[in-house]
Amino acid sequence: MNEYRISMSHKPVVSFHKLPIELVYRILDFQSILTLLCSMRNVCKRFNQIIDSYDRYRQECDILWLDDCKIDDVKVQNIAKTLSNDTVIIKLIIYCNEIGHVGAKHLADALRSNTTCTYLDIRNNRIGDLGVEHLASALKLNTTLTGLYLNDNNIGHVGAKHLADMLKNNTTLTRLSVYNNQIGDDGAYHFADAIKYNTTLEELNLSWNEIGRVGAEYLAEALMNNTTLKELTFNENSIGDRGIQHFANVYRCNTMFSSLDLSCCEIGEAGVQYLADALQNNMTLTVIHLDHNLIKDVGGQCLANVLKTTKTLTVLTLEKCGIEDVGTQYLATALKSNATLKCLNLSRNGITNIGAQHLADALQHNVTLTKLDLAFNTIGDRGARYLANGLMNNMAITDLNLNYNTFGDTGTQHFADVIRTNTKLTDLGIGGDNIGPATGQILLDALRSNTTLTSLDFDNESVGWDISHIIDEYIERNCKLSKVY
């Protein structure tokens, strides 16, 4: 026994640090990326060099996804140590974890020395105002980060002030999102103050932040002279008609904005009138979202006037805005001469067969609209026929959504004729539970000769699973053909 122990003691001990690099690579093959970051980085200088040269690390860690991994302050400390001297990670995405203000401090310390990471997504954590203070302090020195996403982090007006103070000095950040926090009017005041000085921020998301008309006034005043911000996302703030009046003045004078999102902002008929008047001569906006505002038919008329004059607007979404047939008629008339709009969303309004007829007539003339969403309206068989006839000669529409309207077998069968003849339509939604197997068979027969429709939304159960399965096979065939051509 003693001899055995002596002989064993003289056997050479191979240090892990001296293993051949290819053997280390094979060991790394069996480790998760999270293990590499939290347990194997920063063991020694040589091991860091090996990991940095490891193909899988370089391929998977340039954009590092660690969402919903139960990462807490302890685990994020290891990630931060890696980030501090890493030259591979360009985007770090660690949303939906358990990071608090301590973990935010670790990340902030890393950002002070990191020179490659340009994008940090820390949404849905709990860093709070104190965590924001740490990050904001680091970003006063950091010169590489261009995108910061802090949604859902229990940030109040104090945290907003820290971010605003940072923005006055930072010259690299171009995108900042503070969506779904509680900064309020006081926080809006701080951001407004920063906007007056900052000359690099291009996108700012302040949606769902308990900002009212007073906060809107602060921001609007600051934006009057800002020449860099191109996109302000502001939906889910209760600014009302008074608040939108302040923003309208901005859009009349400021020529930098390309996108406007004021969905769910309690805008009514008066507010949309302010906005439409301001947009009559606007030459920069390409996207407008006004969903879930009760602008009604008056709003439809106001925005139709914008469509008649705009030379830039490509997307207009008006979901659940209380627009009925009269407002739809105004919009349809404007579409006949409009040459820029590509996407129009009128879902969840009060459009009936009459409104569908007006839109169908517009489709006979319009040559630029490619996507039309009319889901969740009350369009019946007659309205379906109007729209189907409108598509027979239209070579622009590629996506039509009519899911959950009131037409049944008769209306759906008109779209079978469209499927047979129209070669531009790629997405068609006619879902609902109001068609039967016979209509399913008609759709199937139409699909046999169609090679361009790549998405057909219908109710599988109502047409029968056998027919549904064969329809899906034809759609899959067309998807493969579209990739070939």
Instruction: Give the H or E element holding residue 391.
Output: helix 381-392
Q: Are strands 91-93 and 259-261 parallel, antiparallel or unpaired?
A: unpaired
Q: Are strands 399-401 and 371-373 parallel, antiparallel or unpaired?
A: parallel
- State the CB neighbour count (10 A cutoff) for residue 478: 19
Q: Which of 98, 159, 95 is nearest to 123 (CA)?
A: 95
> How many whole angstroms separate alpha carbon 432 and alpha carbon 435?
7
> How many whole angstroms separate alpha carbon 421 and alpha carbon 395?
11
Residue spans of beta strands (DSSP E) within 262-336: 287-289, 315-317
Number of helices (H) and strands (E), helices first, in the chain?
21, 15
pTM of the model: 0.87
Q: What is the pLDDT along the chain (485 residues), one digit of tens a residue?
A: 444 443 445 555 556 667 777 777 677 777 777 776 666 666 677 777 777 776 776 666 678 888 998 999 999 998 898 888 777 889 999 999 999 999 999 999 999 999 999 999 999 999 999 999 999 999 999 999 999 999 999 999 999 999 999 999 999 999 999 999 999 999 999 999 999 999 999 999 999 999 999 999 999 999 998 989 999 999 999 999 999 999 998 888 888 888 999 999 999 999 999 999 999 888 889 999 999 999 999 999 999 999 999 999 999 999 999 999 999 999 999 999 999 999 999 999 999 999 999 999 999 999 999 999 999 999 999 999 999 999 998 999 999 999 999 999 999 999 999 999 999 999 999 988 778 889 899 999 999 999 999 999 988 778 888 999 999 999 999 998 888 66
Contacting residues for 315 by C-beta, under 8 A, at least 6 apart: 286, 287, 288, 289, 341, 342, 343
> How many whole angstroms separate alpha carbon 4 and alpha carbon 65?
51
> How many whole angstroms separate alpha carbon 56 and alpha carbon 28?
9
The domains located in the chain, with CATH, are 324-485 (3.80.10.10)
Can you say whether the dihedral through the CA atoms of 87, 140, 153, 190 is positive or negative? Answer: negative
Residue spans of beta strands (DSSP E) within 88-195: 91-93, 119-121, 147-149, 175-177
Q: Which residues of 261-288 are buried (b: 16+ CB within 10 A; e: fewer)?
A: bbbbbbbbbebbbbbbebbeebeebebb
- State the CB neighbour count (10 A cutoff) for residue 365: 13
3-state secondary structure of 207: coil
End-to-end CA distance of the chain: 76
> How many whole angstroms separate alpha carbon 373 and alpha carbon 92?
35
The CA–CA distances, whole Å, from 236 to 184, 324, 446 equal 12, 23, 43
Nearest 10 degrees: Cα torsion 349, 355, 356, 358? -140
Query: What count of Cα atoms within 13 Å lies in the side-chain half-sphere of residue 313?
Result: 25
3-state secondary structure of 211: coil
